[in-house]
Structure 1
Amino acid sequence: MNPQSVNFKLSDYLSKGFELLKKDFGGVLTGFLVCFVMSIIPFCGYLGMGNFYKYLRKKSKGLPASPGEIFNFDDFMPYFILQLIVLGGVIVLYLPLALMMPAAAYISADNGGGGGLPFLFFPYMLVFYVVLFYFVLKGFYIPALISFKGIKDIKTAWNISTVMTKNNLLNIFLFSLVASILGSLGAILCGIGIILTLPFTYAANYFAYEDALQQIDKDEIAEIGTPETF
């Protein structure tokens, strides 16, 4: 691989996600439901997601794919470690808030019930979400690197992802926001409909991953020159 900042094609990924759904909606939906079942198993949510992306790759390329492949545990350990890191990060970010609550209540009591909590709470939550989104966006390509490139070391995957997302954080944020809104329309319009629309988010993400990995793949022939034909 040749890690570099990728050319993020927001609209292409959304349109290709819709095309894949139209092409094989039943297959994508079945895979999503199996992925959902995997997410119920403790510490297997990220693994199910990663395996679902492998399944979508086969579907998009017209290769035979069975939903049962999503119950594959070959990548369990890297996704397990990733989940522990995410959980630990959230706990670390929430810990100051847990310590802040008693102090805020005390200040509020001293002020006769006036504005101690909002004064501390809202600035902290703003910083909390900025930090959270920053790390989530910088690690956007980690699932693709684990599932498609077989990178088991989370630190290595993180380092590569940070290079790939350079100068693209806003585009990735907008893409994730639009894909999430479109994928959640089923819940907004009709609760059960989320099962029909949420697979779109995964399909769009898959195409974002696939295109980015193609951009960073080394073309060894291009690097050494076209070999002579004898």
Structure 2
Amino acid sequence: MNVKLSPRPINFNMNLYLSEGYELLKKEFVNIALATFLCLIMSIIPFCGFLAMGNLYKYLRDVKNHRPSSPGDIFNFDNFSTYFILQLIMIAGLFVLFIPMFFIFPGIMLLQNEIAGIGAGIFGFLYMIFIFVALFYFVLKGFYIPALFSLKGITDIKTAWKMSKIMTKGNLLMIFIFSIIVLILSQIGAIACGIGVLVTMPYMYTTHYIAFEDALKQIEYDEITEIGIKEKY
């Protein structure tokens, strides 16, 4: 089947993702919890955090579709270079955002004029707000990049970013609320009991996987079927 992707704004169904994520976790709790634990272990290795997460989403796809799989599949380094480059770009972007701060704070320390010091302090505060907003924007607009990388094999970061921007159009608030809810639920185990994170953390990944799967289905189209429809009409 020649399936291609046609990016468009996604119909974001948060309730579906939360409920089906729970159902998926309930059916394969032991294996998914083990895979999540291995993902956390692999994330300790420098520059392997995103790779581990991508492999976990592939594993969840196999589990949901009843394909032969094993939690040990998390330790797969086939796409290391793609995720490595992505992390380098993110680090470079953060460095660029924080460059002005390297001059603002030393400047505040050197200024003897009280008014000038207050002005520099206000500017530094506003710039920190700008960084906070910018980071949230890029994280939310890039919400579907992990899915495009791990589940669709896209290796060009610029292409994945453009597609994710289109897919998240009009859904930033819903994605933000969804992310906050899932984050809170995933941290309950860590707050209540350290070992509980192995119960709640997998839920974060299963809900995200369901969200990714639903979004990718919405932008897929079968080129062969489309040709047949055109010929029919």
Q: How high is the TM-score relative to the length of structure 1?
A: 0.91
Task: Give per-residue Cα distances to partners, 1:9-52, cap 9 Å, x unaligned.
Answer: 11111111111121111111100011111101111110000000
Residue 131 (structure 2) aligns with:
128
Q: Which of 44, 54, 59 is the equivalent residue of 2:58?
A: 54
Query: How far apart are 1:196 and its partner, in Å?
Result: 2.0
Distance in 1, matches of 2:227 and 2:15, equals 31
Contact 1:138 1:162 in 2 (8 A): yes
Paired letter, 1:57: R
Query: Higher relative CO (CA 8 A, sep ≥ 6), structure 1 or 2?
Result: 2
| Matching residue's letter, 1:66 | S
CA 1:63–1:118 in 2, change beyond 3 Å: closer, same or farther?
Answer: same
Native 8 Å contact 1:50 1:143 kept in 2: yes
Report what 2:47 is aligned to. Answer: 43
Mapped to 1, the partners of 2:105 and 2:202 lie a distance apart of 38
Inter-partner Cα distance in structure 1 for 2:125 and 2:198: 34
Look up the equivalent residue of 1:9 and give its one-letter code: N
Is 2:146 the partner of 1:143?
A: yes
Contact 1:75 1:146 in 2 (8 A): no
- Give ranges in structure 1 of 5+ residues lacking alignment: none
AA paired with 1:67?
A: P
Unaligned runs of 5+ in 2: none
1:4 aligned residue (1, 5, 8)? 8
Moved over 6 A (4+): none
**1:115, CA displacement in angstroms?**
4.8
Tell me, in whole angstroms, the C-alpha distance in 1 between the residues paired with 2:227 and 2:185.
41
CA distance in 2, matches of 1:121, 1:199: 38
Identity %: 51
Structure 1 distance, partners of 2:13, 2:176, is 13
CA RMSD of aligned residues (A): 2.1
Instruction: Identify the match of residue 204 of structure 1 among 204, 207, 215.
Output: 207
Residue 15 of structure 1 corresponds to 19
Q: Who is 1:158 aligned against?
A: 161
SS at match of 1:218: strand
